[in-house]
Structure 1
Amino acid sequence: MEQLHGLKQSEVTESREKYGSNVIPDSEPTTFWKEFRETFQDPMIRILVAIALLMIVMFFFGYAQIYEPLGTIVAILVVAFVTARTGVASDSKYRDLKNSVKKEQSKVYRDSIIRMIDSDDIVVGDLVLLQAGDKIPADGILVYGHLSVNNAALNGETEECHKEAVDKDQPFPEQITGDTFVDGFSLFRGAIVYDGEGVLLVKKTGLQTMMGHMALEMQEEEPASPLQVKLSILAGQISKIGYTGAVVIALLYMIHFVILAGGPAAYMVQGWQNIFMDVINALTLAIVIIVCAVPEGLPLMISLVLMQNTSKMLDHNVLVRKAEGIETAGALNILFSDKTGTITKGEMEVVQFFSGDGTIIDTKQINNYPDIREKLHVAIGKNTSSMFDEHHRVISGNATDQALMKFLGEDSYLKMKEDPSLEVFASQKFNSSNKFSQAQIGGLTYYKGAPERLLQKADRYMGTDGQLHPLDLSCINQRIDTLAKKAMRVIAFGYSEEPLQENCISGNLVLIGMAAIRDDVRPEARIAIHDVQKAGIQVVMITGDRLETASAIAKDAGLVHSDEDVCLTSTMLNSMSDEEVKKILPHIRVIARALPTDKSRMVRLCQEENLVVGMTGDGVNDSPALKRADVGFAMGSGTEAAKEAGKIVILDDNFNSIKDAILYGRTIFHNILKFCKFQLVINVAAVLVSAIAPFFGVDEPLKVTHLLFVNLVMDGLGAMMLGNEPALPEYMDEAPRKRTDPLVSRSMMYQIGIMGIWLTVLSLFYLTSDWTRSFFETDKQFLTSYFVLFIASALFNGFNVRDDGFRIFGHLKENPDFLKVFFLILFIQFAIINVSLLPVKAFTFISAMFSCVPFGVRGWLLAYCMAFTMIPVDMIRKAVMRIFYK
């Protein structure tokens, strides 16, 4: 290599000013204020804001108390605070992880010497020295030397790509296609040097690189999560029902006044002042009904549950970057998975060894065959370009050499290195023309190479008994063909007593055995894929590898099971229209030779079919699709571009962690449903009781402050009570839900409606019965006891919603917060009612605010016993539903 000078400092400055730096900017870190403001885009929050403003207006006109708008505003601010804190915490954890990684550095020629600089400081025109193991820091061309490059981070392929030097004036390709990665000279940022040494002339830096273009592409708007869609639908439904019900009840209330007065004529005689007050009372009732109808605690519950589980998932090696991502993971209908490093281990390894008669020897049991082991270890360890460094890592050599060196092991390598009897007298490295390498040690010449080359000269093989036997070529070729169908590369080993001859394999070769090499499937990935498929989620492997290799890996991983499963290439995919792809979409299992545009197209088509889409990946090529998918799973060892794009980072690259994320996502959704059932029963009953009770002569059975207690205390603590319900394995046996499926299903609607009606009937009986009234000395005590009945009924119903069956008291040990919160709410209510008994006058304000007075033990027992009926009534409902809806 001629003397290289590189750029001068003045030229570096000039180039940076002209072409820009090599920095690919991070996304802006989120801020508390930004997350806080985004909370108010939630449709449920907007309804709450509207209600608060309406109540404030009513307060200023003297027709409402200040407690309700203030309570609603407090609820909104708590939700916004918790949501913002969760978002900032998740983003901070991700950035801490990112900042903990040392900045990449490169060897650059500057002012005639090689300098080690931060890769971000490279400029167009720099000459970068690349050696085995280096990561290419910018896009450009190879102008000196030769390299073997691993482009897996860019196109998903683990196959080596050979690069040869070209003239400095060779233009860098303007149009990047799938073939550009494998041309003879182009190098791209993010690729890894397998072997060789060369010099990169930098042509593009920073955002102008392919990696930079993908970073810009990821700035697109993200789709609304399935939960956001469902909540938006629910908010619209509740708004319509609440507002319609309020208008109807207000009109009925006015009609009630007219009937009591003896008809329209008699009513009009009362005077406009009385009529105006009746209208105000009707409007006040309508507003109370709207307040009752809207589940104020739902946004708070969702924020708390997401925050709790985001922290919990770190214990499962899952870093949740976007809190909604973990819930979305549980809603997946289809999961597109990168192959390299996700389904497979991401590196070549020896997966099988067999002797010359086809006998398979476990790779971990090779030491049980000392004769084969001795010859094999020499054929590998003394016939390679790879070695172990001081950090016990295999370096140098191509992917095959590195895989064989790992198979050999560091201990054997070091022993041979120190053994004087194993001195190499002559050797010849592997080259693509000969397809073998050789080394003469003592009186033997050892060979390593393509089976077709060695088998031409082999007439014997070393058996597992250590003896030499005649070689049966038909047997060995059959084994090779079988392995080739499984996408395995076979390497043969042999030795001869004849001396080394350059570019030639000596005769009388003895076959030691053969090793099958492949980027093998992760054992845990097979199990995880099975579990994810069992959960009803379609798994599709999408890779840059050739179709034969991808199909073999897919079969081994358990993705392909029958002839109906479709494996196709990017070319085949692009020859089909969108409608044609949609028709075969449920059967697609593999897309090979895939480009980033293929991944993005598949995400789009699935979302058009209302499917919730997941994408896993670790490379730059995965980033746009990770961003567009409903939830992107980025691998912890992957590129920063992939981590930036994903909502979730799988820290240990383990498919099992993806399965955990899906399970926790489903658990979160189940807990949200439990809370919806818990809260909507309260809301339905509160609306019906508030609407109907005045017709029975009971005005305001639930005061505004009682509703405030429900909205703040019951809902906030209820979120803690039900938000920590445990993850149950049976959730993975459920069919995935579609994006457009309503949050409130038909069975939920029955439970909410029936239990809401029962609580209403119970309430009206309690409020109108002389028998219940006889337990109390005053009307104020009686109405206070109804407040106890209503809250206790809701709490007992909390047990009902814990399970769709009859195990309502199960798994309480796994959720100790449930009983703690249950008794805490009862204690708070007890304290509010009896606080006036304390000898501190200031506390009487609390009793006055809640319109509560103390009452006797008989009254408490009556209220609790009647409230307990919520449990047996729901048990009967579940039994009946099982009979009619099997």
Structure 2
Amino acid sequence: MKLEGLSSKQVEESRREHGSNALTQIPPDPLWKKILEGFKDPMIMILMVALVIQVVLFFMGQAEWFEPVGILIAILIANGVASISESKQEGKASALKAEEEAKETAKVIRDGALMEIHVNDVVVGDLVYLQAGDKIPADGTVEEGHLKVDQAALNGETEEADKIPLPENGTYDTKDLLNSYYAYRGTVVCGGEGYLRVRVVGDSTLFGALALEVQEETRETPLQVKLGKLAKQISTFGYIGAITIIAAVLLKTLISGAVPDDVYGWIRLIMDAITVAVTVIVCAVPEGLPMLTSILLSFQSMKMAKDNVLVRKINGLETAGSLSILFSDKTGTITEGKLSVVELATGNVTKFSKLSGINPSLRYDIVTGIGVNNSATVSQGSVIGGNSTDRALMSFLMDSQVADSIRRDDVKNFNAFDSNKKCSSVTITRNGQSVTYIKGAPEKIIERCTHYVDENGETKELTEKNYLTSYIDAQAGRSMRLLAVAKVNRATDEGDLTLVCVLSIRDNVRKEAVDAIREVRNAGIQVVMVTGDRKETAVAIAKEAGLLTDQDDVALTSAELAEKSDDELKKILPHLRVVSRALPTDKSRLVRIAQELDYVVGMTGDGVNDSPALKKADVGFAMGSGTEVAKEAGDITILDDNFSSIEKAILYGRTMFKSIRKFLIFQLTVNVAAVLTCFIGPLLGANVVLSVIQLLLINLAMDTLAAIAFGSEPALREYMREKPIPRNESIITKEMLTQVLVSAVYITFICLSILFFPPIRDLFGDVDNTYLRSALFATFMMAITFNGFNARTSHINPFEHLGRNKNFWLVMLSIFLMQFVFVTFGGEVLDAEPLSLQAWLICIVMSFLVIPIDMIRKAIMHGGKKE
């Protein structure tokens, strides 16, 4: 039958009726929009309120110009760094994607001629000519020919699918990717040739629908949830604190008897009280926290790029640290993603893992039987052509360094794989005699074998086949794909055969993935393998990878999963380890169910079929060798496709969250100590304890520099031995709060003692109030600097691992030098005067005591155990 394509007129009509083959792309938000969106962050909103108040106070003459400017700089840095970093990553990804799309073409018959057009120009009704290596441009039915199609982009599996013309009165289900008549966009022809009639284009294709689905919005990250709660707590503290300070100032005025005489006096008194309250509350806000998260995300992202991990969406990294369940693809992630020869056995089941050491005569038979009888070839050190099995066999010969000994000149006849005989054969001339080598299904070949070649190259009679059958069954139980090789001394593949060997082929489990899975599971993260493979294979791989270890562990097929209601699945989920024959809808459903149970969900994948789940998961890990749609959907791209890189991402994410908590301990101690000092001081009789400019310097120095110091904390393996932090758990724990209060109360006590406690005050000699306040300022800054050592670890020893964070030493030394310069040369601007050497030593000793005090607290609370 002669196949006809469309005419130019029919093409235009089809495009008007069915639309374009171009996929809808929702463009990423521009930089300005990302920055505006950033202002919705709860912490940034608090800073905005503080900025407005400071601007109003400045115009009222109650604040210096640099106070609102300092807060504005903190806002711009915190919001800008994250937005610019994410925008750059998206720009790189978009440029690569556009470059790839520009190269995509399709061969179609139009107006009676074969022509090449861009994929986007394909329309419904087009007749597409397909050859090995072509990517199918749209969904449709095979009109003529026989295609071998790699559908890994859609189902994640290495096994090719046959696509043939639909017989008369035949039917097919487009949802069943294994049907033999309907081909899908994005899949690749790896063998054969034929013509495809396009039935569906653009977003209506399975590929297009999945690509569109991945562009939906996702839910808040765990850190965003936690920071939102913290912002509410700080706001509440601010309101209560402001009212309390104003009430305290008014109460002190009434008790002291200094009541204003007129209305203007009362207004001035209330405005002064509000000014003090606002100044203290502004100090209570950790301005450096948004800045720290931005610095951490960017800094850790750069470090991870060296470990083959590309962080595309900046919040994905911190979410990785909070993972409680990870749905992992099998092929290419837990396994190598390609078939490999695992074992070779002779007819008497003598096993070999490589060809070296095998008798030369037997080795010749093996090389000819799987190398010459092979559709793949070796070119410039690479295997090209053939199906996945042939490529695995040729790679085995290359690894054994015998591929050069393949002699195709001796070939008299080659018969490609026959689906009826379930074998392929090649006839060669050897020493003037014809020898035919057959490779194919063991059950078909072994039943015809009367002899076998043993490990010494000698031909022996094959009388007992039970042990050989038992070996084959055992290998099949290990999810091996088995292939038998035999020979016969004639020019045809008919008659009795001599067995050469049985080959075990499999997509091997990555050795490093086994260790990484163990580490991830020890970290309290549930790992579930989701694969399109059959259950027997999936279970065997899962056992070898260390996923199925207990009797309570559950492995389900897609069909079994579909039979379960959501409530039933929620009960099973904690024990679920394997889902086989998985559909894209299964993955999305699993993510949804896990999120409803408040899990922090991770998903790995490389195919278009994985994309919706990658997008919906809290963090999606896309494989570097995967489809562009998958990479677009993922938050993090694993460039080397290795599960161990996922483990590194989790470790870096946990390190980042630890750094945020360390910074919060440090910063909240500063803020609480400043609030207590400035609140209690006036009640004890000192109108000004720390001046507004001193408070501003403390804030700027501690916020900005501390963000750099804690942002450089090393990734410690001990973090992977801790359980995941629940999504809704407060970012401030009871132990953190205890540490903040103990250190803040001590710092407040020693600072106020300089002014009000005679035994301490007298240590400085007969000096004026400005001198004492200079000593108080120096003591305050040094004490909170020393407290940084306490904040950076939950262990008793505050100096452990310091050698791995040089930035911490540099920052702390910088703060010491800064406060020395402030006190010594600040003069009237900073309301300070130089201190004597004796005064400095007194301040240093009192400040340093914050370290042993916190060591005692840690010893009492948990004996130095990890958090």
TM-score, normalised to structure 2, is 0.94
Task: Specify the SS of the correspondent of 2:406.
Answer: helix
Cα distance in structure 1, aligned partners of 2:321 and 2:37: 23
Asked whether the equivalents of residues 4 and 112 of structure 1 are also in contact (C-alpha less than 8 Å), the reply is no
Of the candidates 302, 305, 311, which is equivalent to residue 314 of structure 1?
305
Deviation string, structure 1 residues 291-343 (Cα, Å, up to 9, x no partner): 12211111111111111111111101111011111111111000001112222
Task: Specify the SS of the correspondent of 1:621.
Answer: helix
Structure 2 letter corresponding to 1:31: P
Asked whether the equivalents of residues 156 and 606 of structure 2 are also in contact (C-alpha less than 8 Å), the reply is no
Q: Counterpart in 2 of 1:750?
A: 738
Q: Counterpart in 2 of 1:872?
A: 852
Check if 1:433 corresponds to 2:429: no
Within-5 A mapping of 1:695-844: 695-770=683-758, 771-772=760-761, 774-775=764-765, 777-835=767-825
Of the candidates 837, 860, 863, which is equivalent to residue 843 of structure 2?
863
Cα distance in structure 2, aligned partners of 1:775 and 1:801: 34
Q: Out of 53-62 and 344-353, give the one that drifted further.
A: 53-62
Deviation string, structure 1 residues 706-760 (Cα, Å, up to 9, x no partner): 2222222221111101110111111111111110111111211111111111111
Task: Specify the SS of the correspondent of 1:340.
Answer: coil
Task: Specify the SS of the correspondent of 1:519.
Answer: strand
Q: Counterpart in 2 of 1:283?
A: 274
Check if 1:561 corresponds to 2:549: yes
- Unpaired runs of 5+ in structure 2? none
Q: CA deviation at 1:666?
A: 0.8
Structure 2 letter corresponding to 1:291: V
Deviation string, structure 1 residues 22-43 (Cα, Å, up to 9, x no partner): 3324442443212211111110
TM-score, normalised to structure 1, is 0.92
Cα distance in structure 2, aligned partners of 1:99 and 1:783: 63
Q: Counterpart in 1 of 2:220?
A: 224
Q: 1:579 to 1:340 in 2, by over 3 A?
A: same
Check if 1:58 corresponds to 2:57: yes
Q: Out of 225-234 and 47-56, give the one that drifted further.
A: 47-56
Structure 2 letter corresponding to 1:724: S
Cα distance in structure 1, aligned partners of 2:50 and 2:514: 52
Check if 1:163 corresponds to 2:155: no
- Unpaired runs of 5+ in structure 1? 262-266, 837-846
Q: CA deviation at 1:11?
A: 4.8
Of the candidates 319, 323, 326, which is equivalent to residue 328 of structure 1?
319
Cα distance in structure 2, aligned partners of 1:558 and 1:766: 62
Within-5 A mapping of 1:511-590: 511-590=499-578
Structure 1 letter corresponding to 2:629: A
Task: Specify the SS of the correspondent of 2:427.
Answer: strand
Q: Counterpart in 2 of 1:494?
A: 486
Deviation string, structure 1 residues 243-278 (Cα, Å, up to 9, x no partner): 1122123223322222222xxxxx768444443333
Q: 1:212 to 1:884 in 2, by over 3 A?
A: closer
Q: CA deviation at 1:158?
A: 3.0
Q: 1:692 to 1:491 in 2, by over 3 A?
A: same
Deviation string, structure 1 residues 451-500 (Cα, Å, up to 9, x no partner): 11111121221111112233221111111111111121211111122441
Task: Specify the SS of the correspondent of 1:430.
Answer: strand
Q: Counterpart in 2 of 1:356?
A: 347
Structure 2 letter corresponding to 1:69: P
Structure 2 letter corresponding to 1:296: E
Q: Counterpart in 1 of 2:861?
A: 881
Structure 1 letter corresponding to 2:59: F
Q: CA deviation at 1:776?
A: 6.8
Q: Counterpart in 2 of 1:73?
A: 72
Cα distance in structure 2, aligned partners of 1:513 and 1:828: 78
Q: Counterpart in 2 of 1:241?
A: 237
Deviation string, structure 1 residues 108-129 (Cα, Å, up to 9, x no partner): 3345444444433433333222
Q: CA deviation at 1:290?
A: 1.7
Deviation string, structure 1 residues 204-232 (Cα, Å, up to 9, x no partner): 22222111111221232211000000100
Cα distance in structure 1, aligned partners of 2:754 and 2:293: 34
Q: Counterpart in 2 of 1:852?
A: 832
Q: CA deviation at 1:523?
A: 2.1
Asked whether the equivalents of residues 141 and 198 of structure 2 are also in contact (C-alpha less than 8 Å), the reply is yes
Q: 1:767 to 1:89 in 2, by over 3 A?
A: farther
Cα distance in structure 2, aligned partners of 1:810 and 1:777: 40
Q: Counterpart in 2 of 1:841?
A: none
Cα distance in structure 1, aligned partners of 2:95 and 2:453: 55
Deviation string, structure 1 residues 387-416 (Cα, Å, up to 9, x no partner): 3356733203x3322322322339745543
Task: Specify the SS of the correspondent of 2:39.
Answer: helix
Q: CA deviation at 1:7?
A: 4.1
Task: Specify the SS of the correspondent of 1:700.
Answer: coil
Q: 1:527 to 1:120 in 2, by over 3 A?
A: farther
Of the candidates 348, 365, 369, which is equivalent to residue 379 of structure 1?
369
Q: Out of 119-128 and 707-716, give the one that drifted further.
A: 119-128
Cα distance in structure 2, aligned partners of 1:462 and 1:170: 46
Cα distance in structure 1, aligned partners of 2:167 and 2:110: 20
Check if 1:688 corresponds to 2:668: no
Q: Counterpart in 1 of 2:393?
A: 404
Deviation string, structure 1 residues 158-216 (Cα, Å, up to 9, x no partner): 33321112489999x7x742x2x122211101212232111122222222211111122
Asked whether the equivalents of residues 706 and 811 of structure 2 are also in contact (C-alpha less than 8 Å), the reply is yes
Q: Out of 83-92 and 869-878, give the one that drifted further.
A: 83-92
Task: Specify the SS of the correspondent of 1:246.
Answer: helix
Equivalent residues, number: 857
RMSD value over aligned CA atoms?
2.4
Cα distance in structure 2, aligned partners of 1:360 and 1:169: 50
Q: 1:668 to 1:878 in 2, by over 3 A?
A: same
Asked whether the equivalents of residues 389 and 395 of structure 1 are also in contact (C-alpha less than 8 Å), the reply is no
Structure 1 letter corresponding to 2:776: Y
Check if 1:19 corresponds to 2:18: yes
Q: 1:826 to 1:229 in 2, by over 3 A?
A: same
Asked whether the equivalents of residues 754 and 772 of structure 2 are also in contact (C-alpha less than 8 Å), the reply is no
Task: Specify the SS of the correspondent of 1:336.
Answer: strand
Task: Specify the SS of the correspondent of 1:348.
Answer: strand
Within-5 A mapping of 1:97-136: 97-98=96-97, 101=100, 103-136=103-136
Q: Counterpart in 1 of 2:37?
A: 38
Q: Counterpart in 2 of 1:844?
A: none
Cα distance in structure 1, aligned partners of 2:821 and 2:446: 90
Q: Counterpart in 1 of 2:587?
A: 599
Cα distance in structure 2, aligned partners of 1:269 and 1:444: 117
Task: Specify the SS of the correspondent of 2:256.
Answer: helix
Within-5 A mapping of 1:249-264: 249-261=245-257
Q: Counterpart in 1 of 2:139?
A: 139
Q: Counterpart in 2 of 1:370?
A: 360
Deviation string, structure 1 residues 407-450 (Cα, Å, up to 9, x no partner): 233974554345x4x232x3433222111222222332211111
Asked whether the equivalents of residues 436 and 488 of structure 2 are also in contact (C-alpha less than 8 Å), the reply is yes
Q: 1:407 to 1:129 in 2, by over 3 A?
A: farther
Cα distance in structure 2, aligned partners of 1:100 and 1:852: 62
Asked whether the equivalents of residues 776 and 782 of structure 1 are also in contact (C-alpha less than 8 Å), the reply is no
Q: Counterpart in 1 of 2:296?
A: 305
Task: Specify the SS of the correspondent of 1:679.
Answer: helix
